[in-house]
Amino acid sequence: MRFDSIDAKKQALDRLRPLPPESLRNLEAWFRVELTYTSNALEGNTLSRRETAVVLEKGITVGGKSLKEHLEATNHARAIDFVSQLIGRQRVVAEQEVLRLHELVLEGIDHAGAGSYRTVAVRIAGSTVVMPNPRRVPDLMRDFSDWLQSGSALHPVHFAAEAHYRLVSIHPFIDGNGRTARLLMNCLLMIHGYPPAIIRPRDRAAYLGALETAQLGGPRTAYDSLIIRAVDRSLDIYLDAAGDGAGRTRQAAASPAGMLLKIGQLAKAVGESVPTIRHWMKLGLLHPAQSTPAGYQLFSTETVDRCRRIQVLKGRRLTLAEICVTIDASGEPGGTS
């Protein structure tokens, strides 16, 4: 397993620390919404990213969505807040923290099951994986807790990925196993100075398939690679926010036009769709640096930073019209060279 890329980016990020307070607040607010949206979406929650932000930041109820979906959003955000408090005061996570994370995830949804181990057999729909007998769960969790506290010699990212894998494979709860495992993984990453890993909804099939392959005794390569790529993307986000070129996308460095991105590369770099980028261009939020004779519009890498700023302002519930005014008033470049 190769960690060269994330190790280099982690070292670059460490050199830039401490990040400016405003940048750090913006990052934390963005990740709080994004982690909540993505983790719940993986489990079937239908709140969109925008709706999740409205629920968390404004406390507004979204029409047509169930109470359970609203609670899943607010609960996950509170669990992230608990993780933030946790990493500030301790370096080791044990069984009681895992139980508390699960309790927060299911609070108000499953009063009896929140923070309690299952006492019945469970199966995952559509999977042939056989989960441990419920009578074995307490002992398995004690062993897991001992391992968490053992000071593993594994690379921190490998350790966090392994913790996630072991917890979902024990499947100690009736519900909420995946969300709890991802929260635990990100807690361990952040304890070691890494940003949290975001498993995107678009990667759901690959994520579940890689887990199942490993649980059935197959290779772990796909699972480990998926987690490494998720951490790598988050490091890029932190480095871009800190203004460090090392965090900009590999696509930019490899662009044949030299440090210029095609619209598809820009969209991939910032996690937006091409139609969204085109819409922002139409509104005057983004401008290509140049166009090729073939008609391709090319963007400077500064446009990545501008897109991140737009995403942060959207997370604060500003309209696109308000964002246009805010960015223009700040004197930020529009992406031209």
Single out the catalytic residue among 76, 102, 171, 279.
171
Return the ∠ at Cα 332 (arms to 329 and 337), rounded to 5°. 140
The question of whether 171 is a catalytic residue gets the answer yes
103: its two tokens: 């309790």
* Spatial separation of the C-alpha atoms in residues 38 and 198, rounded to whole Å: 7
Catalytic residue IDs: 171
